[in-house]
């Protein structure tokens, strides 16, 4: 584990999926560099689905009672408020299907950020958000959280568009300790739901052990 003291030092706003044998098995397949691409897509989608389902736990609910076919009452809940997805292009688009499977006809915005070659700073290239994004809970989608540079820029775009940190739930497949630290230091009220926190970053900014370039494998552009 990293010198940052994870996982004990994690803020309560960082939620890591339970490391069950099922999840470990799914990660063993997608991290294996010999797997066929079709397996990567299928099993990455299964992990993404688990992350989306977990993320939905952090939306507010109100009590709701219904009557069952047994003419008995069931005291349940219903979701309050509206949601939307925002994917950080391009890898974040791989998580859109999992979100749609859980939330039919969900609105999905997009943000494209790229690093300036000279300054190394992340630059916003494109954004298209639901007009009423400020009134919605935002499920921000990006499978790999490395340094956090792109995610921080994307979160700043959401805040500039009227969203509050508390409204944003960042859904992520694999995070680095540095990425988690950078985001939580800047946005302590934002929630991060991730399936794994890996050890470190290499000199190119790839997550170790990681799995390589998620977008390239998922979309077949290796």
List of residues contacting ligand URA (CB under 6 A)? 91, 144, 146, 206-207, 210, 213-215
How near is the Cβ of 127 to ligand URA at its closest, in Å?
20
Distance between CA 47 and CA 53 in Å, rounded? 10
Distance between CA 141 and CA 210 in Å, rounded? 18
Is 213 annotated in the active site? yes
Is 221 annotated in the active site? no
Instruction: Give the length of the chain.
Output: 222
How near is the Cβ of 210 to ligand URA at its closest, in Å?
4
Q: Which residues of 118-137 are buried (b: 16+ CB within 10 A; e: fewer)?
A: eeeebeeeebebbeebeebb
How near is the Cβ of 170 to ligand URA at its closest, in Å?
14
Instruction: Between 43 and 137, name the residue whose CB sits nearer to ligand URA.
Output: 43
How near is the Cβ of 70 to ligand URA at its closest, in Å?
50
Instruction: Between 130 and 148, name the residue whose CB sits nearer to ligand URA.
Output: 148
The catalytically annotated residue of 31, 90, 100, 115 is: 115
Instruction: Between 10 and 178, name the residue whose CB sits nearer to ligand URA.
Output: 178
Q: Token digits for 148?
A: 């956090």
Instruction: Between 106 and 205, name the residue whose CB sits nearer to ligand URA.
Output: 205
Is 100 annotated in the active site? no
Q: Which residues of 55-69 are buried (b: 16+ CB within 10 A; e: fewer)?
A: bbeeeeeeeeeeeee
The residue written with tokens 């397949």 in the block is 29
Task: Classify residue 205 as left (phi > 0), alpha (psi -120 to 50) or beta.
Answer: left
Phi, psi of 171, rounded to the nearest 5 degrees: -100, 125
Distance between CA 187 and CA 83 in Å, rounded? 20
The catalytically annotated residue of 31, 46, 147, 213 is: 213
Catalytic residues: 115, 119, 213, 216
């Amino acid at each position: 584990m990293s010198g940052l003291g994870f996982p004990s030092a994690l803020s309560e706003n960082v939620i890591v999926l339970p490391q069950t044998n099922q999840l470990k098995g799914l990660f063993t397949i997608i991290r294996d560099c010999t797997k066929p691409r079709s397996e990567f897509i299928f099993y990455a989608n299964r992990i993404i689905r688990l992350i989306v389902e977990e993320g939905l736990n952090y939306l507010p609910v109100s009590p709701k009672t219904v009557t069952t076919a047994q003419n008995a009452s069931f005291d349940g809940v219903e979701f309050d408020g509206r949601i939307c997805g925002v994917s950080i292009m391009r890898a974040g688009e791989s998580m859109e299907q999992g979100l749609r499977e859980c939330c039919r006809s969900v609105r999905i915005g997009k943000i494209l950020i790229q690093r300036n070659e000279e300054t190394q700073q992340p630059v916003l290239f494109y954004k298209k958000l639901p007009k009423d994004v400020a009134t919605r809970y935002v499920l921000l989608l990006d499978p790999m959280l490395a340094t956090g540079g792109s995610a921080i820029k994307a979160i700043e775009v959401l805040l500039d568009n009227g969203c509050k940190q508390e409204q944003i739930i960042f859904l992520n497949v694999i995070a680095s300790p540095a990425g988690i630290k950078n985001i939580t230091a800047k946005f302590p009220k934002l929630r991060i739901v991730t399936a794994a926190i890996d050890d470190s970053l290499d000199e190119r900014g790839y997550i170790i052990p990681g799995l390589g370039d998620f977008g390239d494998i998922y979309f077949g552009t290796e």
